[in-house]
Structure 1
Amino acid sequence: MDYLYYAKKYLINTYKHLPVVFTNAKGCKLYDVSNKEYLDFTSGIGVMALGHGNEKWIKAVEDQLEKLVHTSNIVLNIPVLKLAKKLTEISNMSKVFFCNSGTEANEGSIKLARKYSFEKYGKGRNTIITLDRSFHGRTMASLEATGEEELHKYFYPFPEGFKHIDITVEALEKAVDSTVCAIMIEAVQGEGGVNPLSKEFVSKVFEIAEKNDILVICDEVQCGLGRTGKLYGFNNYNVQPDIISVAKTLGGGLPMGAVLCNEKLKDTFKYGDHGSTFGGNPVCAAGAIEVLNEITDESFLAKVAEKGKFIKEFFKNNSSKNIKEVRGIGLMVGVEIKGKASEIQKKVFEKGLLVLTAGRDNVVRILPPLIITQEELEKGLNIIYEAIKSM
């Protein structure tokens, strides 16, 4: 069967597929239709934190499949209640709403922030400040929240009420006025080029927000849930937001997202304000519980942080005129190069390694499963370095 022909004929052209079709995977390795092995430095764009085929996760999902697959949200199920308790407690938040993806989590966060402000201050206070090079999703409001103009073309008109600003204290102070209800940030911008925010900037965001009763939304869809060596990316800045959006890692490979809110927002949404047919699915929830069981272990997170330090040390010791900068936190690292990252992606693919690109095709993005071994990490980094050096 010519699978690539099928892809070209039947799939809408929204992705530049690498010429491979995978059939199975284990740990940090994927296998194609001819059983060729590939090392995974993408984890499905930050999803497969526990790697592929984690036995505890599979058992949790299989056990739930045999019991209850789906109900409507007019009734309750045990896994989602257990997950709600665990996720809110470890996040130091009050309540949670479950959905299916990161873009949905961000849409819910936007609605929650605007309703809080409307109820407290009335009309006209609904602007959300977001940052240049941010990425918050593909649905209409989350796309308009995204600070990347290239992604906006063709899709106008967008919902109103967003300001995109440069990532400077000066731009932030200038943007804040009586119409602003929230500031939305990623502690580490993934799609935008793996850009960690400065501690000075994050501190100023929270200082201004507290002074003006402006909510802070932390989009932790990619940088959250263990990716940076801490539970959340914002934990690297010693702050606590009003709203947290999560997805990707949460479901362990199944579609799941969540909106978490603090005490002052816990009763903002009322009956009928928001909803999701599949949000809180018991099978997804059962898998998510197992994900959280593993990634919240302090020794697990410490190992992620150490692996992140190793990546930076590797590129410090293996420099190249083609490398401009290496940045990131934990196992969320971007290698900015003098050239096209998509060309490096193709080169390393030929050597059996999968990597991502970011920024404006000038950053090689490294997002391996958090359980990656030292041997696998060294192997992949050497392949990347040789490809960049030979540009």
Structure 2
Amino acid sequence: MSEWQQRFGTRLMRSIGMPLRKLVRGQGAWVWDDEGREYLDFLAGIAVNSLGHAHPVFVEAVSTQAATLAHVSNYFATEPAIELAERLARLTGAGDAGRAWFGNSGAEANEAAFKLARLNNSGGARTRVVALVDAFHGRTMGSLALTGKPHMRQPFEPLAGGVEHIPATIEALEAAIDDTVAALFVEPIQGEAGVVELPDGFLETARELTRRHGALLVVDEIQTGAGRTGAWFGFQHAGIVPDAITVAKGIGGGFPIGGLVTFGEASDLYQKGMHGSTFGGNPLATATANAVLGEIESAGLVENAARRGVQLRERVLGIDSPLVTGVRGRGLLVGVALAEPIAERLSLAALDAGLIVNAANDRTIRIAPPLIIGDAELDEFAERFARALAAVDGDR
């Protein structure tokens, strides 16, 4: 065990495993460890680093705002927060009725959405909140209640009540949604479940049923937002308008920020004093998010994600390996389906080959590179991933 691993193991909580490398620098889609080894980063901090590492737009936004005004509390307004709320209303299609609330993470965004669901209870009859089996919405107590993974939930039960988890099928959806449901929470693609897409027509049916029964449709866009799937937000592929979405990860490009965006009448549910966050909407975070989203828009990175996503899938399927059985996902959120439960071994072999990906589950490798990637990065990925597959196949 290295000196830094001993220090880490002594002083940091055991809630996460021992890190495999100590990273010290990044540039674009590349990072370097403390021994000078380079890695092609095709995980991007788990779909966070939209612009890659040390992008000049990100660096300029952070340094300029930090030298001006970093934090003032929510007793005061700042231009970056107002601008970001306006930008998100435009990009989501929420329009004039759209409103935003800002926190510091995706879990906080889903906590805010959970409380919004509780407010959708006129007359006291709407006591149920519905989410999906295998869903992941965060690790705080409220967001964990929404998360449909028993192994994550069990150590912390009892959690917030009234949440039910249903399979991601239209039949289960039709059976579950009625006038007692306050909200339905869905991810357009279940990233933590192995990059699993919803069935065709699921979001459209969810929108029709929730509207008919007065329930909120809340779409968790934390991993799928900010252009990652080849649209600004995953729900836009289905052509629907939800009642609320949660955002985080890629909108900050590496700076911690999360948010709730509401549409239509859902924008009137929260009233003064019902929710807040000391750091939420601070000018440093919101200025950075404005810069990141502005660069994604001006550089055509949503379109790049759509185009490069097709090429990435082709690169994976072009590797001659019996271990790969298919690919899932949209844009630059891709899951590689494996013939055997070897994802953890494969992710370690990839790391040894200088490639960062991760095991979403034992049969899926998750790939989520920066939105800036081009031909050179795709070619390098294919070579290194093929090398990792060959290494694991040779050890079977």
The TM-score, its normalising length taken from structure 2, stands at 0.94
The residue that corresponds to 1:112 in the other structure is 116
Which residue of the partner structure matches residue 98 of structure 1?
102
Opposite residue 357 of structure 1, the aligned amino acid is A
Q: Which residue of 2 aligns with 1:218?
A: 219
How much does 1:319 deviate?
4.3
Q: CA separation in 2, counterparts of 1:367 and 1:307? A: 11
1:224-255 alpha-carbon deviations (Å, 9 max, x no partner): 11100110011111111110100001112111
Amino acid at match of 1:145: L
Question: SS of the residue aligned with 1:144?
Answer: helix
Structure 1 residues 319 and 164 mapped into 2: Cα distance closer, same or farther (>3 Å)? farther
Root mean square deviation of aligned Cα: 1.4
- Equivalent in 347, 357, 381 of residue 355 of structure 1: 357
Q: Distance in 1 between matches of 2:5 and 2:23?
A: 11
- The answer to whether the 8 A contact 2:249-2:258 is kept is yes
Q: Cα offset for 1:350?
A: 0.7
Distance 2:356 2:315 in 1: 19
**2:294 partner SS:** helix
Q: Which residue of 326, 341, 344 maps to 1:342? A: 344
* DSSP-derived class of the 2:300 partner: helix
Q: CA deviation at 1:209?
A: 1.1
> 2: CA distance between counterparts of 1:299 and 1:282?
25
Matches of 1:126 and 1:111, distance apart in 2: 12
1:134-173 alignment runs, 5 A limit: 134-173=135-174
Compared CA separation, residues 318 and 33, structure 1 to 2 (3 A): closer
> Which structure 2 residue ranges, 5 or more long, are not aligned?
none
Name the residue aligned to 2:371: 370
1:306 to 2:307 alignment: yes
SS of residue paired to 1:153: helix
Q: Tell me the matched-pair count.
A: 387
Matches within 5 A, 1:4-83: 4-83=5-84
**Partner residue of 1:201?**
202
**1:248 counterpart letter in structure 2:** K
> Among the aligned pairs, what percent are the same residue?
36
The Cα offsets for residues 183-220 of structure 1, whole Å up to 9 and x where unpaired, read as: 11111111111011122222211111121121100000
Report the AA paired with residue 247 of structure 1: A
State the Cα distance separating 1:315 from its structure 2 match: 2.8
Check the 8 A contact 2:225/2:251 in 1, yes or no: no
Residue type of the alignment partner of 1:186: E
Superimposed CA distance per residue, residues 290-334 of structure 1 (whole angstroms, 9 cap, x where no aligned partner) = 111022248322211111101222233334322232101000000
Matched residues in 2 for 1:310 and 1:226: separation? Answer: 16
- Distance in structure 1 (CA, Å) of the matches to 2:69 and 2:380: 42
Residue aligned with 2:67, SS: helix
Aligned equivalents of 2:365 and 2:220: distance in 1? 22
What code does the residue aligned with 2:350 have?
V
- Aligned equivalent of 1:3: 4
Query: Letter of the aligned partner of 1:303 in structure 2?
Result: N
Is the CA contact (8 Å cut-off) linking 1:131 and 1:167 kept in structure 2? yes
Q: Matches of 2:133 and 2:142 in 1, distance apart?
A: 16
Separation of aligned partners in 2, 1:145 and 1:382: 39
